[in-house]
Amino acid sequence: MKVFISCDIEGVSGVVVASPQTSPEGRDYGRARDLMTAEVNAAIRGALKAGATEIVVNDSHGPMTNILIEKLDSAATLITGTPKPLSMMQGIDRDFDAAVFVGYHAKMGEVGVLSHTISGASVADVWVNDIPVGETGINAGLAGYFGVPVVLVSGDDVVAKEAKALLPHVHTATVKWAVTRTAARCLPPEKARETIEEETFRALSSLSEAKAWLPESPVTFKIAFKDAGQACNASRMPYSEMIDGRTLTFTADDYLTAFKGLRAMIALAGR
């Protein structure tokens, strides 16, 4: 069994504020990296316990150089650094049997811990074929393009609810409960890791029940930016269509191409 793990940082237990904890300049960034690496290792242990023979971890937060490779379980290999063509899902392909999302967060606008969708500075909302999605849904669709089901999402209670609404079969590992966007009731690290390990094992042990999620083609991503200037910048993307002052769409025959169009529009918006 070959397992792909995508790991973000905002959903990790104990991480609740941005700059001090989630950026390299922050005073608590080193601690957050340790916590992130430990939660990845918990998922790796659960996967091994369920019979995984190959595990690939993709560092999926910000600069994508957060996971401490010297502390990573030696059973896995690590994809690190940026830019990467598939971003948070770099390395996924049809050879994988399952995908696991660790440390994920809710989409922009939800009262989840550090909620945002790809770019907190520019993105207000994203839809795929008129279905509202955050990073969980966007990345689940990309896994689905390769025929890979997402079997587990770990993070706060809000992202767990978001994941269940879109992926009914998915298992969740709730390691904290949002109080506000920058406050939460958190499990102690040891308990959070036990929860992730146990739920990863359960999810992979019932892999036969999992289903890949893939929106029907043609695939249309609609994106609302925070201001009109960002939308105007993004409209330089070939074949994009401006719907109103802040909203664009991009349509492609397949999910992978549509995903790349979405990422390109977001990148252009910040220029």
Per-residue confidence of the chain (271 residues) as pLDDT tens digits?
999 999 999 999 999 999 999 999 999 999 999 999 999 999 999 999 999 999 999 999 999 999 999 999 999 999 999 999 999 999 999 999 999 999 999 999 999 999 999 999 999 999 999 999 999 999 999 999 999 999 999 999 999 999 999 999 999 999 999 999 999 999 999 999 999 999 999 999 999 999 999 999 999 999 999 999 999 999 999 999 999 999 999 999 999 999 999 999 999 998 7
Per-residue pLDDT, 8: 98
Answer yes or no: 116 catalytic: yes
Segments of the chain assigned to CATH 3.40.50.10780: 2-118+134-209
CA distance 6 to 87: 10
Count of CB atoms situated within 10 Å of the CB of 158? 24
Tokens of 201: 């094992």
Listing DSSP states for 101-119 in one string gives EEEE-PPTTSSSTT--SS-
Count of CB atoms situated within 10 Å of the CB of 184? 22
Catalytic residue from among 105, 116, 169, 171: 116
Question: Is 2-118+134-209 a domain of CATH 3.40.50.300?
Answer: no
Q: Is 148 exposed, middle or buried (0-12, 13-18, 19+ CB in 10 A)?
A: buried
Per-residue pLDDT, 7: 98
pTM above 0.75, yes or no: yes
219-269, CATH topology level: Gyrase A; domain 2 (3.30.1360)
Per-residue pLDDT, 271: 79
